[in-house]
Structure 1
Amino acid sequence: MKVQFKVPTREEVSAGNQVLFDQLKSAVGMVPNLYATIAYSDTALGNYLALQNGKTSLSKKEKEVVNLVVSQTNNCQYCLAAHTLLGKMNGLTEEQTLEIRKGSAPFDPRLDALVKFTRAVADHRGRIDDDVLAAFFAAGYTKGSMIDVVVAIADKVVMNYVHNITKIPVDFPAAPAL
């Protein structure tokens, strides 16, 4: 039996989540379907927003690089669509988003090291080769930024998995196919 998920409306979620829906709508003009979907839980949306909006040493562009790599690894069409758009809003070209999704960033050596580190961590569940980590540090990243990348990976895995399970409609322009 196939289980179907629908995107909950504001009226179908808890009072606490209704407040978060209002804040999201005010900040971004809409409540993205995936955020609404995690509001099935009375606590997950607030917890997720706290994680997503927490302080980090990564720039917005670097966070989008991580988001694109992890979403490609997990084949999450929702997150690929959203982060292609957000990547472009944070200084990446569409061609660069495609290169990142393919596993490199030849246009920027520092971002290239970030792409390769993120991909190795996501592909191998953190069991990476020393040379990947050494290249990440040689590109100017620190032990602190390494931890911040792992937290960003975990953030994106949450949403990738939720979408891959629920298959709710994507409400962003589709990401180009590789």
Structure 2
Amino acid sequence: MFEQYSIETAPENSKDLLQNAFNKFGFVPNQDKILAVSPSIYQAYNQSFDLFLGKSTLGFLEGQIVLMTISFENNSPYCVALHSWGMEMTKVSTKIINALRNGQQINDQRLESLRNFTKQIINIKGI
């Protein structure tokens, strides 16, 4: 449906961004290959992702809880798999990862409250 670019075939201003993704992950995720069509949107995506996980008051683990909950609630197996991998790489508990992957309760009241809040926002579409 959408063209997926490689580092070699991407628009010139997306090539470094794709290379950065490869250097960071050891592969280029599919959404990066698609976003490369528009270097400015691709750059904005990367910056917002980095700001959310790195500069948010939530903290890295809490940010991952939000992203995994969104991925599960939106029924996105690709995103669930990608964020699971990211959580595994950063040594998040397997119990937390499995609970999020299956839409189940987290055995930590604070994290479970965040998961439920995120789930409610997604289900009411922010209204």
Q: Which residue, out of 2, 5, 10, partners 2:2?
A: 5
Residue 126 of structure 1, CA deviation = 2.0
Is 1:51 equivalent to 2:48 in the alignment? yes
Relative contact order (alpha carbons < 8 A, sep ≥ 6): 1 or 2 greater? 1
Q: Distance in 2 between matches of 1:87 and 1:31?
A: 17
Residue 16 of structure 1, CA deviation = 1.1
- Matched pairs, number: 123
Q: Distance in 2 between matches of 1:66 and 1:108?
A: 14
Larger Rg: 1
Point out the more displaced range, 57-66 or 24-33.
24-33
**AA paired with 2:105?**
S
Q: Are the equivalent residues in 1 in contact too, given 2:11–2:39 (CA < 8 A)? A: yes
**AA paired with 2:70?**
V
Identity of aligned residues (%): 24
Report the 3-state secondary structure (helix = DSSP H, G, I; strand = E; otherwise coil) of the residue aligned with 2:48: helix
Q: Distance in 2 between matches of 1:42 and 1:49?
A: 10
Q: Are the equivalent residues in 2 in contact too, given 1:10–1:18 (CA < 8 A)? A: yes
**AA paired with 2:4?**
V
Residue 89 of structure 1, CA deviation = 2.8
Q: Distance in 2 between matches of 1:18 and 1:35?
A: 11
- What is the TM-score with the length of structure 1 in the denominator? 0.63
Q: Distance in 1 between matches of 2:85 and 2:50?
A: 18
Report the 3-state secondary structure (helix = DSSP H, G, I; strand = E; otherwise coil) of the residue aligned with 1:51: helix
What residue in structure 1 maps to residue 122 of structure 2? 122
RMSD of aligned C-alpha atoms?
A: 1.7
After TM superposition, which residue ranges in structure 1, 4 or more long, deviate above 6 angstroms?
none
Unaligned runs of 5+ in 1: 128-178
- What is the TM-score with the length of structure 2 in the denominator? 0.85
Residue 82 of structure 1, CA deviation = 0.7
